[in-house]
Amino acid sequence: MNATSDTNRSLPAHAPLIASTRGYASGGCVECVHYGSIAVVDIDGRVLASAGDPDALNFARSTLKPIQALPFVEDGGMARFGFGSQELAVFCSSHSGESVHTAIVRSVLQRIGARVRDLQCGCHPPRYFAATESATPAGLRISALHHNCSGKHSGFLAYCRMHGHRLDTYLDPEAPLQVRIRNTVQALSPDQTIVAGIDGCSAPNFALPLRRLARAYCQIACSEVPSLRALHFAMTRHPDLVSGTGRTDLALMRTGAGDWVSKIGAGGLQAIGVRSRGLGIAVRIASGDAPALHAATAEVLHQIGLLDEPARTELAASFRPRLRNARGLATGQLLPLFRLPRLVRS
């Protein structure tokens, strides 16, 4: 079988989720269509609402971060080094490289006896500037501390230090920590072989069915297991550390007021757990388009009954948003192409 037919065989059966319109008339004309999939599940993994292909494999990307932090929490690492919920939130974060983020990562490294150069995530400009549409200051010295995954990597190093493992090989797929994480992810989907790959920060990452990712977030939100409760508490208590100024996860968790645990992933992925309702939600936009992902996520929350008045929340800018050009002129809108049942009644 040739490569083209292999690819076709593995293509998910995504459905049209979001339309981008353009035009003066009401609704305009559909210019672009963003395909994807949605899974809304309960604590047992039963699919309550869906669109597209909830069984298709999707790389978890940064939605995996709480699961990647779990071994350190389970093994008593928080007490071992005297870390609190702020440090744990940063371990689970895709932070914006703001001073509060880099200071916590630096403090973690100092407490475990590691250095900035031990971080193997690489470096990029702080996400803060893109999120706030502001210019990166001239002369800003960028280091691995500013990488959005530096918190996760500092947690990896803390695990290795606690167990006496080498720091320089902590990203090796066969390093003890990465094997532990792989086994944890496999346990989320025991009846299916997960697919391994390398994330943007050079850490191993895994693809699993969308509905299994949704269930994992339901478990993080709802479980009374101490390690999972710690993850939920840290992330919902400090959404500004998990995310950053002007970022989506901050808006989602503030809107959820401690009830929703949320994590975005590169490539068009959003996962949410809702404690009060026992729900897990995973949304995938196949093109990876961020505005379409944000619009689809807000629409899911609205349609299933969790977001009755989007305009009154921090998610207002993501709900059926108007599209504007560089002069600020309205050119169109992002509109939903899917319909889910209302699961939550007032």
pLDDT digits (tens, 9 = 90+) for 210-262: 999 999 999 999 999 999 999 999 999 999 999 999 999 999 999 999 999 99
Can you tell me the distance from the alpha carbon of 10 to that of 86, in angstroms, rounded to the nearest whole number?
40
In the chain the first and final C-alpha atoms are separated, in Å, by 53
Can you tell me the distance from the alpha carbon of 136 to that of 185, in angstroms, rounded to the nearest whole number?
37
Residue 89, CA distances (Å) to 61, 143, 234, 261 in order: 17, 21, 5, 11
Radius of gyration of the chain (CA): 20
* Confidence at residue 6, expressed as pLDDT on a 0 to 100 scale: 53
Which residue ranges in the chain fall short of pLDDT 70? 1-9, 25-27, 346
Residue labelled with tokens 């920060």: 201
SS3 state at 94: coil
* Residues 6+ away with beta carbon under 8 Å from 214: 39, 40, 41, 54, 271, 280, 281, 282
Q: Identify each DSSP E strand in 193-290 by its residue range.
A: 195-198, 204-209, 260-265, 269-274, 279-285
Q: Identify each DSSP E strand in 42-165 by its residue range.
A: 47-51, 57-59
Can you tell me the distance from the alpha carbon of 333 to that of 26, in angstroms, rounded to the nearest whole number?
10
* Confidence at residue 4, expressed as pLDDT on a 0 to 100 scale: 52
Q: What is the CATH number of domain 41-336?
A: 3.40.710
* Confidence at residue 224, expressed as pLDDT on a 0 to 100 scale: 95
What single letter denotes the amino acid at residue 182?
R
What single letter denotes the amino acid at residue 297?
T
